[in-house]
Amino acid sequence: MADFIRKITRDALRSAPDAALSREWLVANGLGGYASSSLSGAVTRRYHGLLVAALPAPLGRVVMLSQLNDVLIERDGTERRLTGHNPQADQWPDPNYPSDAAPSGLAEFRMESGLPVWRYEIGDVVIEKQIVLPHLQNIVHVTYRVVKAPQPICLRLRPVMAFRKLESAVDEPLARDYRVTARGHEYEIWAGPELPVLRMTIEGAELPLTLDGGARRDIVYPVEAERGYESRGSLWTPGYFSGPLSQGQTLSFVAATEPWQRLWALPPADVLRFEKERRRRIVGTAHPSLREGAMAELVLSADSFLFVPAGRVADQMRARAEGDEVRTVIAGYHWFTDWGRDTMISLEGLTLTTGRHMEAGWILRTFAHYIRDGLIPNMFPDGKDEGLYHTADATLWFFHALNRYVQATGDRHTLQLLLPRLVEVIDHHRRGTRFGIAVDPGDGLLRQGREGYQLTWMDAKVEDWVVTPRRGKAVEINALWYNALCLTAGWLTEEGDAQAARPLAELAEQARASFNARFWCAHAGHLYDVVDGERGDDDACRPNQIFAVSLDNPVLDRARWEPVVETVRQRLLTPVGLRSLAPGQRDYKPKYFGDLRARDAAYHQGTVWGWLIGPYVDAWLKLHPDDKAGARELLQGFLPHLDQAGIGTISEIFDAEPPFSPRGCISQAWSVAEVLRCWAATAEDR
E-strand ranges in 83-215 read 106-112, 115-122, 125-132, 139-148, 153-160, 164-165, 179-183, 186-190, 198-203, 209-211
Is 193 inside a domain boundary?
yes
Is 99 inside a domain boundary?
yes
DSSP letter assigned to residue 288: G
Q: Which of 45-59, 217-231, 315-329, 541-555 has the lowest mean pLDDT?
A: 315-329
pLDDT at position 409 is 98
Q: What is the pLDDT of residues 291-311, one digit of tens each?
A: 999 999 999 999 999 999 876
β-pair partners for 201: 254
Statement: residue 101 has pLDDT above 60: no
| CA atoms of 529 and 527, how far apart (whole Å) | 6
| CA atoms of 80 and 351, how far apart (whole Å) | 44
| Segments forming the whole domain that contains residue 658 | 570-685
Is 433 inside a domain boundary?
no
What integer best gives the mean pLDDT of the chain?
A: 93
Distance from first CA to last CA of the chain, Å, rounded? Answer: 22
Q: What is the pLDDT of residues 549-563, one digit of tens each?
A: 999 999 999 999 999
Question: How many domains does the chain divide into?
Answer: 2
Closest CA to 265 of 339, 341, 201, 174: 201
Q: How many CB atoms lie within 10 A of CB 614?
A: 27
β-pair partners for 62: 53, 165
Statement: residue 188 has pLDDT above 70: yes
Is 112 inside a domain boundary?
yes
DSSP H or E run through 478: helix 475-494
| Residue 92 or residue 632, greater confidence | 632
What percent of the chain is predicted at pLDDT more than 90? 82
Is 182 inside a domain boundary?
yes
β-pair partners for 183: 186
| CA atoms of 557 and 390, how far apart (whole Å) | 31
| CA atoms of 304 and 660, how far apart (whole Å) | 25
| CA atoms of 122 and 640, how far apart (whole Å) | 30
pLDDT at position 330 is 97
DSSP letter assigned to residue 41: S
DSSP letter assigned to residue 350: I
| CA atoms of 234 and 341, how far apart (whole Å) | 37
Domain end position, chosen among 276, 299, 320: 276
The separation between CA 110 and the C-alpha centre of its own chain, rounded to angstroms, equals 21
Q: Identity (one letter) of the amino acid at 109? A: F
Burial 404-414 (b: 16+ CB within 10 A, else e): bbbeebebeeb
Statement: residue 158 has pLDDT above 50: yes
pLDDT at position 70 is 95
What percent of the chain is predicted at pLDDT more than 70? 97
Domain end position, chosen among 229, 251, 276: 276
Burial 328-342 (b: 16+ CB within 10 A, else e): bbbbbbbebbbbbbb
CB 171 within 8 A of CB 232: yes
Q: What is the pTM of this model?
A: 0.96
Region label for 244, one of left (φ > 0), alpha (ψ between -120 and 50) or beta (otherwise): beta
Is 401 inside a domain boundary?
no
Mean predicted confidence (pLDDT) in 207-227: 89
Q: What is the pLDDT of residues 460-509, one digit of tens each?
A: 887 778 899 899 999 999 999 999 999 999 999 999 999 999 999 999 99
pLDDT at position 381 is 81
DSSP H or E run through 2: none
Is 226 inside a domain boundary?
yes
The separation between CA 246 and the C-alpha centre of its own chain, rounded to angstroms, equals 40
DSSP letter assigned to residue 379: B
Closest CA to 33 of 267, 198, 265, 256: 256
pLDDT at position 503 is 98
Q: What is the pLDDT of residues 309-343, one digit of tens each?
A: 876 777 778 888 888 888 999 999 999 999 999 99
Q: Are strands 328-329 and 306-307 parallel, antiparallel or unpaired?
A: antiparallel
Domain end position, chosen among 276, 305, 340: 276
Helix/strand/coil for 70: strand
Task: Assign residue 144 the CATH number of its domain.
Answer: 2.70.98
Closest CA to 618 of 671, 665, 669, 561: 561
- Evaluated on CA atoms 507, 509, 514, 520, the torsion sign reads positive
pLDDT at position 99 is 42
Is 253 inside a domain boundary?
yes
CB 638 within 8 A of CB 649: no
Highest-pLDDT range among 75-79, 142-146, 228-232, 447-451: 142-146
Q: How many CB atoms lie within 10 A of CB 121?
A: 15
| CA atoms of 216 and 166, how far apart (whole Å) | 20
| Number of residues written out for the chain | 686
CB 91 within 8 A of CB 10: no
Torsion, CA 285, CA 290, CA 293, CA 298, rounded to 10: -90
| Residue 645 or residue 56, greater confidence | 645
Q: Identity (one letter) of the amino acid at 181? A: T
